[in-house]
Copies of this chain bind each other. A is one copy, B any other.
Amino acid sequence: MNYFSSNFKLGIIGGGQLGKMLLQETRKFDVHTLVLDPSESAPCKIACNEFFVGDLMDFDTVYNFGKRAGVVTIEIENVNVEALEALEKEGIKVYPSSKTLRTIQDKSQQKLFYVDNNIPTAPFSRFAYKDQILTAINNESLSFPFVWKSTRFGYDGYGVKIVKTYSDLDNLTAGECITENLIAFEMELAVIVARSVSGQVATYPVVEMEFHPEANQVEYVICPARISDENAKKAQLIALKTSAAFNHVGLLAVEMFLTKNGDLLVNEVAPRPHNSGHFSIEASITSQYEQHLRAILNFPLGSTKSKAAAVMVNLVGDENYNGPVAYENIEKILSLEGVTPHIYGKKETRPFRKMGHVTIVNQDLTEARKIAEQVKRTIKVIST
């Protein structure tokens, strides 16, 4: 397929910030791009060739959109899978595949997939509805504390709760769910694997994720993770195994726990460019976005080596502000060494809403981590 021909069109489902960063990379290859998003004011609108507004969960919308493209990819998981399946049947390339997406969309299926493929993951139980949890507690097959996850539509900490007491049960939604043992972990890690149409693979360095204690959102992503070479190798192998098990094409971000007794357990995966790979724009020889394109267009993959150590800071709305956004002290952080801001352009801030991110690169990771803290302390996402 000649991707440089104006006859070739790449369809991206979802027009959010990840899509926008992906679109910027399509310029390097001059690929003609189509984007589908439910919002008329999606970030991608400014950076694609053709923009379509529509419901991503509607069969006809997704199907008709995909029919315009030669290759279809996603920047969000909540997409009508039946439509993707129909597109595949008609010879349109869909990466990730409908099958992969179907498995990943359902946390219960995702967990079963790990078990079936000998991919280490935390023990879990499945429940068709919430009341079954109470029964399980009463007959002692489940005990506090545990992690509750809605099987569908969870993201960024939504649909996930730590349940410590009976009263915590009141805050859970009623539908299908899983529970997992609460893992005593040392650290949360992530590895991004790229796998191309022809099966070439490349793994990025293992990154370490520090979470905000209240919001259950990643606050810092640190590359490389401060772990032993042995653990790093082990984590990369697990990620590669996961990607191969899915027969995946494109990026797969594999999130893991490093437990207190040194085990690595897969927590969840995202089959697309991922927050844990933003650092790669500044720090890697090939950014995750360029790599995703190389993978799905079946070009040779690029080098995943780092040019520098990096720390990524998520910029989230201050917890005390709601309304039209303002970035306090952005000038101050710009005067620090190696700081690149990425303001996403959302007009309104809310407590803990993701409003952007900042990458800090430095030849010395400890120094980068220090500057990251300074960035975090200095910049405030408030309202005017």
Contacts and interface: CB of A to CB of B under 8 A. Distances in A.
Interface of A: 2, 4, 6, 20, 24, 27-30, 46-49, 282-283, 285-286, 290, 294, 299-300, 302-303, 307-308, 325-327, 330-331, 334-335, 337-345, 347, 361
11 contacts: A4-B326, A24-B24, A27-B47, A28-B340, A28-B341, A28-B342, A46-B49, A282-B285, A286-B340, A299-B330, A302-B339
A313 to B, nearest CB: 14
A6 B302 contact: no
A30 B343 contact: yes
A339 B331 CA distance: 33
A24 to B, nearest CB: 5
Contacts of A344: 30
A375 B343 CA distance: 35
A338 B27 contact: no
B47 A302 contact: no
B326 A2 contact: yes
B47 A338 contact: no
Contacts of A20: 27
Contacts of A340: 28, 285-286, 290, 302
6 closest Cβ contacts across the A-B interface? A300-B335, A30-B345, A307-B307, A30-B343, A300-B334, A307-B308
A326 B285 CA distance: 26
Given A286-B340, A300-B335, A307-B307, 5 more contacts: A2-B326, A4-B325, A28-B342, A30-B344, A285-B337
A280 to B, nearest CB: 12
Contacts of A49: 46
Contacts of A347: 6
A1 to B, nearest CB: 12
Nearest to A362: B285
A255 to B, nearest CB: 26
A307 B30 contact: no
B290 A27 contact: no
Nearest to A285: B338
Nearest to A49: B46
Contacts of A342: 27-28
